[in-house]
Chain A
Amino acid sequence: MRGREDEWTGLMRSAMAGDDAAYHRLLKAVTPVLRAAARRGLARAGQPPDQAEDIVQEILLAVHLKRHTWDSEAPFAPWLFAIGRNKLIDMLRRRGRRIFVNIDDFAETLPGEAPQETVSAGEVASQLNTLPQRQRDVLQSIAVDSTSIKDTAAKYSMSEGAVRVALHRGLAALTAKLRNH
């Protein structure tokens, strides 16, 4: 566990220093842990586990948009799990459930418990359709068609800078829509 969390902290430091591959690896590595914790939290609240992936995606978006609040001198896991807890609580609250979030749901995940899998979730996908055209095009192109920023820029005759702006604004808008949903 210690080793895993130290590895996350190291990856996040590299990510913050501009290493996109380290960032990608970090997000891949934390996702199964978040998924297991979300399922456990939902089960505890008497909710079906099929919403777990929506929570996971919301957590990932929040991690991304708030990563500047992580103190690079501090371990990464407590910061990550705090966001995870907040997002789980938000989701249960929106569903009008009484909140029984055990603080340990996000802390006591066992290593090896979580198989790598990729799962679709409904909420991000459906909110994606409500974004302005340009942001939606860019997000679709990069996320779904896995086109690079450069090729996306060529495809829509935009500058790379404009693609980056649309990408970031799209992610921020998506998060705002999920929060108020």
Chain B
Amino acid sequence: MDTDQLIRTLAADNAHRPPRVGAVLTMALLVAAPLSILIFATFLGVRHDVMSAMHNPFFDMKFAVTLSLAIPAIIVSLHLSRPEALLRGWGWLLLLPVGLLAVAIGSEAMMAPAMPMTMRLMGKNSRVCLLAIPAMSLPLLAGALFGLRHGAPSHPALAGALAGLVSAGLAATLYASHCTDDSPLFVATWYTLATALVTAIGALVGAKVLRY
């Protein structure tokens, strides 16, 4: 087929209107979310003292941290689904949860400690955390990668890593309502490790499936 023929064929297909990447990503995440919620409902569930926990600012802080990861990650991943987009100027959005955690750790350090630091850091749920966040992330990661496949990222591994951050942020939001460890030190350690694992998986898979 010569190039003129190809061009004629492409022009004939101009009536086909693909949806925007944001719409496909949203749909894919909405389809994947029930699977993650099913894992949550089956194996974890909301902690029993949730009503009193809500009066603890460090409990609420967990959601601020996880959502400040998930939402900016969605925004940046959509930005990077355009081929000419650069991370420059957008990357700082991904530092929001880091900043929030730093503030939270600082405020906790200024309060009279209820428990020694190592106990707060190690918590009681570190193994569950390391297992549950990646497990609940996987359906969402698959959804995020499917959605981003509709885009045209110039750096597929980076886009895959962002899909990992999106899914880990959303899964960690669910997990935060189960976990009784509210210390920002616990969150900074174990949530971060779990997120790093999911992000690495996202980057590896993304490098393969997000090429266009």
Where the two chains meet, the residues of A that have a C-beta atom closer than 8 Å to any C-beta of B are 15, 18, 20-21, 23-24, 27-28, 31, 53, 56-57, 60-62, 64-71, 74, 78-79, 81-83, 85-86, 90, 118-121, 124-125, 128, 139, 142-144, 146, 148-149, 164, 167-168, 171, 179
Contact = CB atoms under 8 A, between A and B. Distances in A.
Chain B interface size band reads 20 to 34
A61 B7 contact: no
Contacts, number: 117
B23 to A, nearest CB: 10
B114 to A, nearest CB: 50
B172 to A, nearest CB: 29
Q: Which residue, of B1, B17, B154, has the highest number of chain A Cβ atoms within 10 A?
A: B1
A66 B151 contact: yes
B11 A27 contact: yes
B151 A139 contact: no
Contacts of A74: 84
15 contacts: A20-B11, A24-B7, A31-B3, A64-B10, A65-B212, A71-B82, A79-B83, A86-B83, A86-B212, A121-B2, A124-B6, A125-B1, A139-B9, A143-B1, A146-B8
A86 B156 CA distance: 11
Interface in B61-102: 81-84
A68 B21 CA distance: 8
B15 A79 contact: no
A79 B7 contact: no
B1 A31 contact: no
Given A90-B211, A179-B211, A179-B212, A149 B12 contact: yes
A24 B8 contact: yes
B5 interface: yes
B212 A66 contact: yes
B206 to A, nearest CB: 15
Nearest to B83: A82
B76 to A, nearest CB: 15
A125 B20 CA distance: 30
Contacts of A179: 211-212
Given A53-B3, A69-B21, A118-B3, 10 more contacts: A28-B4, A62-B212, A65-B18, A65-B212, A69-B81, A82-B83, A119-B2, A121-B2, A146-B8, A167-B9
Nearest to B78: A69
Contacts of A120: 1-3
Contacts of A119: 2-3
Contacts of B152: 62, 66, 69, 83, 86
